[in-house]
Amino acid sequence: MKVLKKIVPALAVFLTALSSSAQIKDTLNAPKPVLPGVFADPHIAAFGDTFYLYPTTDGTEGWMSTYFTCWSSKNLVDWKNEGTILDLPKDLTWAKERAWAPAIAEKNGKYYYYFSADVNIGVAVADKPTGPFKDALGKPLVPKGALKGQMIDPMAFVDDDGSAYLYWGQGNCNIVKLNDDMVSYDPAKIISIKPKGYNEGSFVFKRNGKYYLMWSEFDTRDPRYSVAYATADSPMGPFTKAELNPVLKGRGVVKGAGHHSVVKVPGKDEWYIAYHRFKIPGGNGYNRETSISPMRFDKKGNILPVDVFETPKNVKVKIVKAFNK
């Protein structure tokens, strides 16, 4: 009898564990990527009732791509190729290849496109999210070697009061307030931080008055590539790394999930994360594809772990007066 008393609860625990493990989703069949072919470092944004993706063109060893494309969608599922929006050899005088990791920001009806080119950061401007974009400066906004680490992976965040901030860098996360023109800044005001685990791909957004700085950890060729975050009360920090990290990482056949961006569905508190993963099957750090999954928060505003097997469903934009609100 004594033995039975011990065995029955243990058996109950075992059976519960067995039944919940049976509920674990199939991690061998990943959802299809959202863009056809190999595209990495997706920067997602919403302008008006339309979502846009600005990725790196992937598929060459050493990431030697020379041009950037833009994609648009009304529902985050069906994406239209808007074509090449910046062709380095044609549109720049100062860099020809390594077209990496772009970011878009809108201010006063103009669209500013920040991008890495030959390990410098450039900025181009257009009247529409789909371009045509024109090199704004005729030289890099942040030249190669300006600071420690690589001058890549820009991100521009425009705060509610119209102040804009540029974040960038591999090795360190550099931050500076942009001038009103969005294409200049005071170099003496740059700060460089390195949250624990930071490697590259910073992304910033604001929710309920809190600033979220997210980034990628490990190397993009490493299957452990993943995304972590920290929060602050101001866009320049100080940032405190969250306890529950990483919030995005591969599982099952999904490997190397990282270099992400985040979008809020206009008019709703509904959020999605765009990221790349090794192409399935047969991908690696030079052959990556773009995915999108829902991103949720708990009541305290902590980001909950993302399910890389979950995809957007029935996304509908609620039209609001001001963009992105």
81-114: b (≥16 Cβ within 10 Å) or e: ebebbbebeebbeebebbbbbbbbbbbeeebbbb
Closer to ligand FUB by Cβ: residue 86 or 152: 152
Q: Specify the length of the chain in residues.
A: 325
DSSP state of 189: G
Q: Which of 167, 168, 163 is nearest to 180 (CA)?
A: 163
Q: From the centroid of its chain, how far is CA 80?
A: 19
Residue among 41, 135, 153, 217 flagged as catalytic: 41
241 to 260, contacts with ligand FUB by CB under 6 A?
259
Binds ligand FUB (CB under 6 A): choice among 33, 195, 201, 246: 201
Q: Give the whole-angstrom CA distance, residue 54 versus residue 52.
A: 7
Q: Does 101 bind ligand FUB (CB under 6 A)?
A: yes
Exactly one of 104, 152, 228, 254 binds ligand FUB (CB under 6 A); that residue is: 152
Specify whether 26 is catalytic: no
Q: Which of 278, 281, 204 is nearest to 39 (CA)?
A: 278
**One of 35, 56, 178, 182 touching ligand FUB (CB under 6 A):** 56
41 a catalytic residue: yes
Q: How is the beta sheet containing 173-178 ordered, strand by strand?
A: 155-158, 164-168, 173-178, 191-193
The yes or no reply on residue 200 touching ligand FUB (CB under 6 A) is: yes
Q: Which residues contact 23 (CB under 8 A, 6 or more apart)?
A: none
Nearest distance in Å: CB 186, ligand FUB: 25
CB-nearer residue toward ligand FUB: 56 or 261: 56
Footprint of ligand FUB on 251-310 (CB under 6 A)? 259
Is position 68 an interface residue for ligand FUB (rule: CB under 6 A)?
Answer: no
By C-beta, is 63 or 165 nearer to ligand FUB?
A: 63
Say how many CA atoms lie within 13 Å of 136 toward its Cβ: 21
Q: What residues from 204 to 223 belong to the interface with ligand FUB (CB under 6 A)?
A: 220
Per the CB < 8 A criterion, the answer to whether 41 and 16 are in contact is: no
Q: Is 40 in the site for ligand FUB (CB under 6 A)?
A: yes
> In the structure encoding, which two tokens stand for residue 165, read together?
């901030």
The smaller minimum CB distance to ligand FUB, of residues 41 and 91, is found at 41
The pair phi, psi for residue 17, each rounded to 5°, is: -60, -40
Under rule CB under 6 A, how many of the chain's residues touch ligand FUB? Answer: 13
- What part of residues 103-122 is at the interface with ligand FUB (CB under 6 A)? 116
For the record, the structure tokens of 29 come out as 């069949």
Q: How far is the CB of 149 from ligand FUB (least distance, A)?
A: 12
Judged by CB under 6 A, the residue of 52, 54, 79, 100 near ligand FUB is 100
Q: Closest Cα to residue 266, out of 53, 74, 55?
A: 74
Among residues 118, 135, 200, 217, which one is catalytic? 200
- Contact between 182 and ligand FUB per CB under 6 A: no
Nearer CB in complex with ligand FUB: 73/170: 170
Residue placing its CB nearer to ligand FUB in the complex, 30 or 40: 40
Task: Determine the straight-line distance between the first and last CA of the chain, rounded to whole angstroms.
Answer: 65
User: Is residue 227 near ligand FUB by the rule CB under 6 A?
Assistant: no
Tell me the catalytic residues. 41, 200
User: Which residues contribute to the site for ligand FUB (CB under 6 A)?
Assistant: 40-41, 56, 63, 100-101, 116, 152-153, 200-201, 220, 259
